[in-house]
Structure 1
Amino acid sequence: MSIAAKAARLVLALVVLLALLAGAAYAGFLWFLGRLEPADPSAAPVEIEIPAGATTADVADILAERGIIRDPNVFRLYVRYRELDAQIVSGRYELSAAMSADEILAKLVSGDVVVRRFTLPEGLTVAMMADLLDEADVVPREDFLNAVAAAVPLNPYLPPDLDVAQPMEGYLFPATYEYHSATTAEEVVAMLLDRFAAVWTDELLARADEMGLTVHEVVTLASIVETEARVPAEQPAISGVYLNRLAVGMPLQADPTVYYALGLPRTERLLYEHLEVDSPYNTYKYPGLPPGPIASPGESAIRAVLYPETHDYYYFVAKNDGSGEHYFAATYEEHLENVDRAEANLAARQP
């Protein structure tokens, strides 16, 4: 065989070998891409927790264990190929085996975590908030209370000589909040305090100053109004009663403050003997405002204190007719008549 023929055969062999290698490489490439396709196009979304500090290999294993991806090794190599190592954000995600690797990565790298919500209604104490957040699996009760205690030095509205069991009462603003699964108790408390600060606009601060009231005094009275008024529309009228009493030195005689002093559930009936409790929160025994709020008032109660209804009422009593409304009176004699009316309403509702 001539040298030319041998060279031609060698070239042909090399071409065939290169073709085979190229074919194998292409097949391997297609196989690799296939392993990045959805593992189950009909799968429903599930929630997956990616812990803080998880490596790419950890993430791949978690996703593979839940059946979200086809191959953890291919996924890990693909993440590194795209130079996304260390860019995956921890948290709880809604992912599905019907998603491709690119779709999954888009969520993990952007931090598109599941957003949750919790609602703190108006009129809760700090202890009630702690229980609610614990029961809703937002943050553990003790963690929340510890975070609240740690925030006391950061509250600019507290009087320097305040000596109460829970200084932050009234300052954790009731509202609906969004949070992520990795949210800490400290972050929850910061959200509540930030919302409280946002409510206190320059207008409200100026109005409090105009009335000669501190923020602490406004929040204290607003917390009583919040827990006393069952119908929000009556808050300005009830606020006006309390402010009228304060102006002439009359005791507030607000039942909610006695409940707070005794730690009684608000569903329990208040007895005359309860009114004798020796506590600075007992507004039957001690005139003026109690030392601090008894619950967290909403914005409407705060505004009711700052913009009360102007009237000459000094008394009010629940109508007991199922409306949640009150009868208001300017004199004690009128008040006694209203008490009789309320008792008659209650008797009429008895089976």
Structure 2
Amino acid sequence: MTQKKKRKKIKRTPFWIKVIISLFLIVIISGGIAAYRLYHAIYQPNIFLGERRTTHIFIPTGSNFNDVKAILYENGMIINTNTFEWLAEKKNYKNLVKPGRYLIHEDMGNNELINLLRSGNQDPVRLTFNNIRTKEELAGSIARQIEADSVSIIRLFKNTEFLSKYNLTSETAKLLFIPNTYEFFWNTSAEQLFERMNREFNSFWNEERLRKAQNINLSPLEVGTLASIVQSETSRPGEFSKVAGVYINRLNRNMPLQADPTVIFAVGDFSIRRVLNRHLEIDSPYNTYKYAGLPPGPINLPEMRVLDGVLNYQKHEYLFFCARDDFSGYHAFARTYSQHLANARRYQNALNQRRIMR
């Protein structure tokens, strides 16, 4: 009997199993690709800012989703607009647009960007204003920093009914705006601006300051008006309280203040460096040569330190002062008119030598 070689039987995988495995692998790979694309659409950076790492976008009040897209797309900030719009749709951002000033950075993905815009979590504006004389200047300065325009702000400065709820007039309204740095949301309206500044004004005028104002028989608004004159007269902090003392002495004696800066304000020409007799003839309640007492409102925005300089004025017997002839910014003080005339002549001669005639 011949022996036959035993052959091992090779089991073949059934065709239907191969099909199932192939389909399973296709599903896994396709799912992985889909998951990667989904992750990329949601989380991968989708912002282009050029050489900048961060920037702000401003979404005006009343904007809709199309407006937001225009802001982002016109500046070329969105790399893939399709994924941005797809996720915005999924997250219902179209119905949740909030105005404001938003800080965006180059590493933001669609999810982070949309969550930020949807939340209304703004980057506040640090609002400042100084070296301001007129309401128009103030309105313009503020309007360059927040959404409210200068027209709407000026309108409230002239609205006596609106101002009356803050016990203000059109002339005194500027005194709400004490120079400082304030955090505001960019989309602040003109009405919200005044409301906030009224709170800041009341915060500044604490019990101690109110008591000091009462001791010199002045209201907070009158202190502010006097401080604005002091601030125009001297830029030297060491002189604030001394100059204030001169004016308080004159007020207590019913003497006209005769403050040159009020005349310049009345004339409206802030380039004037030398007040002349013809300037003194202007008929204005701000002309403190013609009209006794304080003018109807401030001639600038007095700083906190000047307000405190008035409240803590120096008690002395000076009734006059004049800029020194060395142009140091300091002043020569006098008790009598004859002393003052001598000081004034020296200063006038110095002006003549420098050919400062107006």
For 1:37-116, what aligned pairs fall within 5 Å after superposition? 37-39=44-46, 43-45=50-52, 46-52=55-61, 59=68, 63=72, 66-79=75-88, 86=95, 89-116=98-125
Matched residues in 2 for 1:83 and 1:306: separation? 56
TM-score, with normalisation over the residues of structure 1? 0.80
Q: Does 174-183 or 281-290 show the bigger shift?
A: 174-183
Matched residues in 1 for 2:137 and 2:63: separation? 35
SS in 1 for 2:249: helix
Match of 2:32 among 26, 34, 37: 26
Match of 2:23 among 3, 17, 22: 17
What are the ranges of 5 or more consecutive residues in structure 1 without an aligned counterpart?
1-7
For 1:332-343, what aligned pairs fall within 5 Å after superposition? 332-343=337-348
Residue of structure 2 equivalent to 1:3: none
SS in 1 for 2:158: helix
Matched residues in 2 for 1:57 and 1:27: separation? 31
Residue of structure 2 equivalent to 1:244: 249
Per-residue deviation, 1:101: 2.7
Match of 1:275 among 274, 280, 299: 280
SS in 1 for 2:176: coil
For 1:134-173, what aligned pairs fall within 5 Å after superposition? 134=143, 139-150=148-159, 151-156=162-167, 158=168, 166-173=171-178
What are the ranges of 5 or more consecutive residues in structure 2 without an aligned counterpart?
1-13
Q: How many residues align?
A: 338
CA distance 1:113–1:320, change in 2 (3 Å)? farther
CA distance 1:310–1:350, change in 2 (3 Å)? same
**Any conservation in 2 of the 1:120–1:174 contact (CA below 8 Å)?**
yes
**Any conservation in 2 of the 1:173–1:298 contact (CA below 8 Å)?**
yes
Q: Does 166-175 or 35-44 show the bigger shift?
A: 35-44
Q: Percent identity?
A: 33
**Any conservation in 2 of the 1:56–1:76 contact (CA below 8 Å)?**
no
CA distance 1:264–1:56, change in 2 (3 Å)? closer
Per-residue deviation, 1:240: 0.5
Per-residue deviation, 1:302: 1.6
Looking at CA atoms only, which structure, 1 or 2, has the larger radius of gyration?
Answer: 2
Answering whether residue 185 of structure 2 is matched by residue 174 of structure 1, we say no
SS in 1 for 2:101: strand
Per-residue deviation, 1:73: 4.1
CA distance 1:341–1:285, change in 2 (3 Å)? same
Query: For each residue in 1:225-274, what CA deviation from the matched residue of structure 2 results, as whole angstroms up to 9, or x when unmatched?
Result: 12222323211111101111111121111112222333332536422122
CA distance 1:310–1:284, change in 2 (3 Å)? same
CA distance 1:15–1:81, change in 2 (3 Å)? farther
Residue of structure 1 equivalent to 2:7: none
Matched residues in 1 for 2:273 and 2:143: separation? 24
Residue of structure 2 equivalent to 1:132: 141
Per-residue deviation, 1:283: 1.6
SS in 2 for 1:170: helix
**Any conservation in 2 of the 1:123–1:298 contact (CA below 8 Å)?**
no
SS in 1 for 2:345: helix
Q: Which amino acid aligns with 2:39?
A: L
Q: Which amino acid aligns with 1:143?
A: S
SS in 1 for 2:45: coil
Matched residues in 1 for 2:70 and 2:225: separation? 53
SS in 2 for 1:217: helix
Q: Which amino acid aligns with 1:120?
A: F
CA distance 1:142–1:61, change in 2 (3 Å)? closer
CA distance 1:15–1:65, change in 2 (3 Å)? farther
CA distance 1:308–1:122, change in 2 (3 Å)? farther
Q: Which amino acid aligns with 1:286?
A: Y
